[in-house]
Amino acid sequence: MNLQQEGQLSARSSSEDSEGKTLAKNLSLAILALVIALVILEAAFALSEVHTSPDARLVANKGFTYIPHAYYRHTKEGYSEGRFNSHGFRDYERTFEKASDVFRILVLGDSYVEALQVRLEDSFTAQLEKLLNAKSSTVRFEVLSLGHSGFGTADEYVRYMNFGVDYHPDLVILAFLTGNDFRNNSRMLNREGINFYYVLDNHHKLVLDRSLIDEYQDSLTLPKRLFQVIKTHSRLLALISERMYLLKLQRSEAAKGKSGTEGRQNQSLNLFSDLNIYRTDLPPEWKEAVEITREIIVKFKQSVEQHGSRFLLLTLSNAEQVHPEVGAELKNNYKIDFDFDQPDRLLEEFARQHQVPFLKLMPDLRRHHLQTGEFLHGFGSRHQGHWNQIGHRRAAQLTFQFLKDQHLLPLEG
């Protein structure tokens, strides 16, 4: 190789080194710019307090709770913000130990008990605790809220067995939402939920089906667990994750709506609609959901009593039951003569047959609306959805009066 060729090779190598350094520099600048942009976005979301869904965690072999001490800000319906307690529940800070002068009530239910739509102090469990303590000088009452959005009765029973028993409650209240809990208890009808389910075997005995929970637990690889940890500290990542989940849920709902209307009489009301529980001609799948629900409640009551506590089945209310104009609109839209009293009546008859202490709030809440004109469901101009502050307050008053009248409490006088 002559000197000229060596010079050309040296120049080419120098040029390639220079291009490589330039590329590395540009890549580093691009990464730095991306990091800065993400930091700015994260700060912007934090300053503007962009809402994301509360972060849940799966406690191995026990079920879901929220991440202890995680911050939440709920603005989709009503408003609340705060932090979950150290046990992962939306409640005041509690201890598993119970003082000798404390009468403890444990309330299990879904989003109505969780009550993210109102301030914690305005929830019916918190107001019930306040009412009880105002009437007692010798006993201190604690009303613990173990509600969780999307739960059905099977989930609530498992939560009681895995978490609730440890609180040593004197009274356990199962707050049942007739509007969707029947569906939530059917794996066939509740397709979108990663939940615990019970099924009936050939001998009509309940068998716990935890396959979806186990599958989800097995899918939590180390990268997924790391992603969940990071997500709890990043509003941006949590927002992206939530939007992806909502998109998946929308597609699932669209698919269910399409498949659920095929070959059925009332094609405007698909099989998976919660409104089916008001039909006097319940579809077979819904009859089975009612049957499974009844069996779970009996099992729930027996377990509570075996642990030395008393049990109360409390049925809540839905807007279409309490506000006649909402119910009338649904009947007109679907051309179906819904029986809005039917689900409460089904459970009342069942409770009487099985000696289950029972209180239904719906008739009194409806009477309150008709007499006062106050709306107990909804916020602003919308009179549908969850209880508002008035609904929670009235529910607490009615529950307090029932517990007192039935001598389920150690109240003086």
Q: What are phi and psi of 270, to 5 degrees?
A: -80, 165
Q: Is the pLDDT of residue 253 over 50?
A: no
Per-residue pLDDT reduced to its tens digit, 101-160: 999 999 999 999 999 999 999 999 999 999 999 999 899 999 999 999 999 999 999 999
Q: What are phi and psi of 112, to 5 degrees?
A: -65, -40
Per-residue pLDDT reduced to its tens digit, 355-404: 999 999 999 999 999 999 999 999 999 999 999 999 999 999 999 999 99
Q: How far apart are CA 150 and CA 4, in angstroms?
A: 78
Task: Determine contact, residues 232/55, Cβ cutoff 8 Å.
Answer: yes
Closest-CA residue to 346 (of 315, 300, 372): 315
Closest-CA residue to 303 (of 114, 154, 87, 95): 154
Question: Cα separations (Å) of 231 from 49, 85, 236, 239, 323?
Answer: 15, 19, 8, 9, 40
Q: Is the pLDDT of residue 224 over 50?
A: yes
Q: How far apart are CA 109 and CA 173, in angstroms?
A: 9
Residue 204: pLDDT band with limits 50, 70, 90: confident
Q: How far apart are CA 148 and CA 113, in angstroms?
A: 7
DSSP assignment of 342-403 equals HHHHHHHHHHHHTT--EEE-HHHHHHHHHHH----B-STT---SSB-HHHHHHHHHHHHHHH
Is the pTM higher than 0.85?
no
Closest-CA residue to 184 (of 303, 302, 314, 290): 290
Q: How far apart are CA 330 and CA 323, in angstroms?
A: 11
The amino acid at residue 201 is D
* Residue 51, pLDDT score: 47
The SS3 of residue 143 is: strand
| Helix axis angle, 284-306 to 342-353, nearest 10° | 40
H helices then E strands: how many in the chain?
14, 11
Task: Determine contact, residues 75/51, Cβ cutoff 8 Å.
Answer: yes
The kind and range of the H/E element at 174 are strand 171-176
* Residue 246, pLDDT score: 46
Phi-psi region for residue 80, left (φ > 0), alpha (ψ -120 to 50) or beta?
Answer: beta
Q: How far apart are CA 161 and CA 163, in angstroms?
A: 6
* Residue 338, pLDDT score: 98
Structure tokens at 265: 């009489």
Task: Determine contact, residues 91/103, Cβ cutoff 8 Å.
Answer: no
The position carrying tokens 């080194």 is 17
Per-residue pLDDT reduced to its tens digit, 286-333: 999 999 999 999 999 999 999 999 999 999 999 999 999 999 999 999
Task: Determine contact, residues 401/132, Cβ cutoff 8 Å.
Answer: no
The position carrying tokens 């598993």 is 96
Number of other CB atoms surrounding residue 205 within 10 Å: 11
Q: How far apart are CA 182 and CA 274, in angstroms?
A: 8
* Residue 128, pLDDT score: 98
> What letter does residue 267 receive in the DSSP assignment?
T
Q: How far apart are CA 293 and CA 288, in angstroms?
A: 8
Task: Determine contact, residues 72/84, Cβ cutoff 8 Å.
Answer: yes
